Chains A and B, each alone.
Chain A
Amino acid sequence: MDNPGLIAVIPAYNEENTVGAVIAEVQRTCSGPAEVRPAEVRPVEVVVVDDGSVDSTAEAAAAAGATVLRLPVNLGYGAALRLGFRYAAGRRWDCALVLDADGQHIATDIPALVAACHSGADLVLGSRFHPDCAVPYPVSRIRRAAIRVVSRVLRHRRGVALTDPTSGFWAMSRPCVELFSRQLPAGYLDNLLGLSIAARAGLAIAEVPVTMAPRQGGQPSTQGARLVFHYLRTLLAISIGGRS
């Protein structure tokens, strides 16, 4: 039977404690007998991009049944994603997902993202701040302010209005993944640049509300002054295009 199913890309850096559980969650949500799982989701290939972890992230991911791509050194979230997209572009699937390895994204939200993807959106973001969210997700003041600035820039420069553009919980159509695997520059920083590229290419972008669990392990990728620097770089890349 022709049933290509889903592909889930999970960038991971030193997440040995959580990555296995995250993979198991995704597989539980997306597999099982057709009558118990949501109609939108189908069997899934989970791809963990190990971004040069020094712990046993890769082993944990392989043991949980994921395809593991190992970067020999730590290149950062954006680079790991780019590799995931390049791999996904050469596989068969009908909807691709990106989620975090630290357990912040809840697998039970996957059907809603996939449904939005199937109903015509090329890029679906899971939003923590969507008006339909039961409880807005708490974030630090710097991050909140940065997200506001980025939202505004995206609205003015690219004409997309989003409540949570920095979300790392995505569902994508094939044209979107192919665009990313072709056009994301090496040195790609963040999902924001991807978002900007998708908007510029005229892809349909949508948001669905998601709940987000507090992170179960690991460290936020960037904090404090580095976070500010990170957003400045991202803003520069979004607003004038080119390389990050």
Chain B
Amino acid sequence: MSLTARIVSALLAAFVVAIILKLQRRGGLVSKYGLLWMATSAVMLVMAAAPDVVDTVGGWLGVEYTPSLVFMAALGFVLVVLVQYSWELSRSEQRIQILMEEVALLRRELDAQRKDAEPEG
């Protein structure tokens, strides 16, 4: 890997770390996701600093063209994360719906009680 490519990928990884840290500090990110992306950018950093790692791992696994290993791993990772998000989103939607049903029923209950409490006429 050329020096430029290594610098670019290191910068990219550093950029991701910076964004995640900023989001986390602003309270815009739940810590489990913060941790997930920090770990991801750590892996990116390692690969930028020592690209030979990829060849070594590829050698263990018997992969001939090792860069394809990176693509495969990245794609697999992204897929897993997306499916997990879909699941989490579905669960959130359901919880929100149940919450809103409760709000509607409670509001109805409250209105009825207020009406009863009002003096006649």
Which residues on A are within 8 Å of B, measured CB to CB?
Answer: 49, 67-73, 75, 79, 82-83, 86-87, 185-187, 243
| Contact B97–A187 (Cβ < 8 Å) | yes
From B94, B98, B103, B108, give the contact of A67 (CB < 8 A): B108
Return the 3 tightest CB-CB contacts between A and B, nearest first: A186-B94, A186-B97, A69-B104
The answer to whether A243 and B90 touch (CB under 8 A), given A70-B107, A86-B105, A87-B108, is yes
Chain B residues within an 8 Å CB radius of A82:
97, 101
Chain B contact residue count (CB 8 A cutoff): 13
B102 → chain A, closest Cβ, in Å?
A: 9
B93 touches A (CB below 8 Å): yes
Main secondary structure on A side of the interface with B:
mixed
B86-117 interface bits toward A, Cβ cutoff 8 Å, 1 = contact, 0 = none: 00001001110110110111011000000000
Main secondary structure on B side of the interface with A:
helix
List 15 A-B residue pairs with CB atoms under 8 Å apart, sorted by A's residue number: A67-B108, A68-B108, A69-B105, A69-B107, A69-B108, A70-B104, A70-B107, A71-B100, A71-B103, A71-B104, A72-B104, A83-B101, A86-B101, A185-B94, A187-B90
Tell me the bound Cα distance from A67 to B95 in angstroms.
Answer: 25
| Contact A79–B97 (Cβ < 8 Å) | yes
| Contact A75–B105 (Cβ < 8 Å) | no
Chain A residues within an 8 Å CB radius of B107:
69-70
Tell me the bound Cα distance from A185 to B91 in angstroms.
Answer: 11
A201 → chain B, closest Cβ, in Å?
A: 21
Supplied contacts A72-B104, A186-B95, 15 more A-B pairs, CB within 8 Å: A49-B104, A68-B108, A69-B107, A69-B108, A71-B101, A72-B100, A79-B100, A82-B101, A83-B101, A83-B104, A83-B105, A87-B108, A187-B94, A187-B97, A243-B94
Tell me the bound Cα distance from A137 to B107 in angstroms.
Answer: 39
Tell me the bound Cα distance from A74 to B56 in angstroms.
Answer: 55
A67 → chain B, closest Cβ, in Å?
A: 7
